[in-house]
Structure 1
Amino acid sequence: MPTLSLLMIAGAIAFALWNSARAAAERAEQLGREACRAANVQWLDQSVHASGIRLRRGYDGRLGFERSFRFDYSRDGSDRHVGRLVLRGRQLVSFSGPIAERETLH
């Protein structure tokens, strides 16, 4: 009986980790799409790719996961650039990629 309990606990932990990773990837995809839309560039491959994970302390001092993602975008359809973003929980802590075009005053 104790083996079954341990398996259930391990399964619950694995599900919680998978679920938080999926939520972070969805958030990263949303942020990448919004950045591409604001910069008027094309979002390529319709996805983000996880490129790293590590334990980091948040601003409140608690340990949590910091996940890195990459995505591809194109300015004119014939080039390809890499964007990167880092999430700590749901919060964006680092971004490199397309920049929104500034409006010029005439």
Structure 2
Amino acid sequence: MPSLILLMIAGAAMFAYWNAARAAAERAEKLGRDACKAADVLWLDQTVHAHGLRVRRGEDGKLGFERSFRFEYSYDGIDRHIGRLVLRGEQLVSFIGPVRPSVAPLER
């Protein structure tokens, strides 16, 4: 009987981990898609790829997972560039990718 309880606890922990990983991937996908749309570039392959997983402390001091993802985008449909983003929980902590072009005025 105790082994059944341990098996159920392990199953629940694995489900919770899988569910959190899936939610993070969906959030990363939305962030990557929105960034490409805002920068007016093509979001390639319509997906993000999990790139890394680390245990980090959040701003509240609690341990949690920090997941990094990568995605690809193109300015003209021919070239390919890699974008990266890092999520700590649901919070975006790092982003490298397409940006909206802007022109800064020259000082005289």
TM over 0.5: yes
- TM-superposed CA distance for 1:102, in Å, is 3.2
Instruction: Provide the aligned length of Structure 1 versus Structure 2.
Output: 105
Q: Aligned residue for 2:34?
A: 34
Q: Aligned residue for 1:59?
A: 59
Distance 2:38 2:101 in 1: 7
Runs of 4+ with >2 A deviation: 101-105
- TM-superposed CA distance for 1:100, in Å, is 1.8
TM norm structure 2: 0.93
Contact 1:74–1:80 (Cα < 8 Å) also in 2: yes
5+ residue gaps, structure 1: none
Q: Does 1:82 align with 2:92?
A: no
Q: Aligned residue for 1:91?
A: 91
- TM-superposed CA distance for 1:103, in Å, is 7.5
Q: CA RMSD in A?
A: 1.4
What letter is aligned with 1:63? L
What letter is aligned with 1:97? G
SS of alignment partner, residue 98 of structure 1: coil
Distance 2:86 2:104 in 1: 30
Q: Deviations over 1:4-51 (max 9, x none)?
A: 111100000000000000000000000000000000000001100000
% identity of equivalent residues: 71
5+ residue gaps, structure 2: none
SS of alignment partner, residue 44 of structure 2: strand
TM norm structure 1: 0.95
Distance 2:7 2:72 in 1: 39
